[in-house]
Structure 1
Amino acid sequence: MKNKNYTYSILKYKHSALIGESINIGIILFFPLENKFVFKYSKNLTRIKAIYEVVSEKVIKLYLQQIEFNIKNINLRDYTLFTHSDIENTEEFDLFIDNFILPRDSSVLQFSKSKESLYNLDLDTTILNITNKFLLEKDKNLNGGIIQKEPILVKKFINGLSKFNSDILTNNQDKIYKNYKVVNEAGNEFNFEYGWKNSYLNLIKAISFDLRDSRHIAEKAYKNFGLFTDLKNEAENNNLKYDLLIGLPTSKDLFKDFDHALNLLSNLERVDLILENDISDYSLKAFEAISN
């Protein structure tokens, strides 16, 4: 490896093999020029607990602390095994992780295949920038939002679906869709994370109105009203229906604006609104359709 290179692998929390999704929870880096390993991880597991209903926070923390302990010991030891001459490519780095950090098995914490990159800044700044890139210690504000709630709404649907018979879901994969793309008449492409099929192909989009003020609620309602008005022809031509998972505002002062937004969106054709409290029932409805 050349000077000013570094190798990294992302530690992911994988909740379900069936869903096949993951959340970045940590990252291990190796800087050959300094002959140094660095491990950074999310100290706050709120994101995972918010998205997934059943999480053993204690077990995850024990894993993270053990990895951190291993890295500290490796940096303190003067073993030639850990010099940069022994880790010259990503395959060797992956092997190092398997042997000394965390074996690649079926546990919920797994390191990704490692990659190489370059850095030009000082080491501390580089580590900070990489950590900020791959790990989100705080939920970002989005369009004035208090938290990024859309992923939580989608995961609530998926978690509800996963509670049912996994064999039935596996045997009916032709009725479950991931990353379905709808292209409008202008050629613009819109991605829907999930869909499921009964008499329609029901495409799922989460819309959270847990925002800071009424202006942002109105802007979000108008934006989505315009979007699904634009996609009406595609729905009719392809037998689609759009199911919107709706997140409620936390502030009671915004309920009036929220009701106005719902009234606006309820006028859309081929669109159903599912409030967050009804998502579990919606998951059951989807499962029953998939299993028939």
Structure 2
Amino acid sequence: MKGHAYSYVVLQYRHDVWTGEVMNLGILLCCPGERFLKLKSRRGRGRIAQAYPGIDARALTNTVKSLEHRFGKVEASWDMLSSAAKAGDVARGVLRADASSLQWAMDGSGLTGAAAETLDMLYDRFVGRYDDDPGRDAITDDQVFEKVKVKLEAAQLYKRFERHVVHSEFGDVAFEHAFKNGVWHCVQGISFDSANRERMLEKAQKVAGKMHSIAGAAGSMRPYFVTGKPRNPDLLPQYSKMQKLLKSSPLEPLVVDERDASVVVERIAEAAH
């Protein structure tokens, strides 16, 4: 991969220094090639307060925000930094290692073509991976499939659908909506309305992994994946990548966005005649 070298370090909160229990609060990423230095941290206090009842979550988040501003000032004075500056060194120069509840850990490095996007990815991986998105119900796979079902019912096709299970030496894979006419046409809704990139990737890999597991035992089968995009516009580039990942999986699945569900219905209608 071509790009600029970067380094990162994780900001952790230690609620009890004696037990060593920690919660990741943010990521500091340093990329000299892009003159980029930024700390991205939690915005909400919900998970912190839930994990540690009685904690002054407001004071903690305000402290972390003040750190963000301090690193912003360091970035603005970039000429004071070395061209080989490392995130861990810069971080510990601003917030020294001591017995306080805020600590730096898990230093890492890599190459990037876009430091801001890499920071978002690392934040999703180390900080926001298991966070809920407050006040928001994610669109489900079933809700995505409903877009197809309505069209199949209008075409008088859905009544011919049934459940189909593919057996292989690695396990069984069930398709809840399948139609057989010479071959099995298996339609699955896949929602990528997720809170972060890592969850989207995990879901796409899981589906692709199932296709790999049945590739040698599926017989005559054609998968159709109808995907639902995330409502967060920042995740749309990741959504496109996940569609490509699904398209590259075994059994040559047809992958379309839910807006193009009629394409799936047309293909199945052709097979039904």
What TM-score, normalized by structure 2, do the two folds share? 0.46
How high is the TM-score relative to the length of structure 1? 0.43
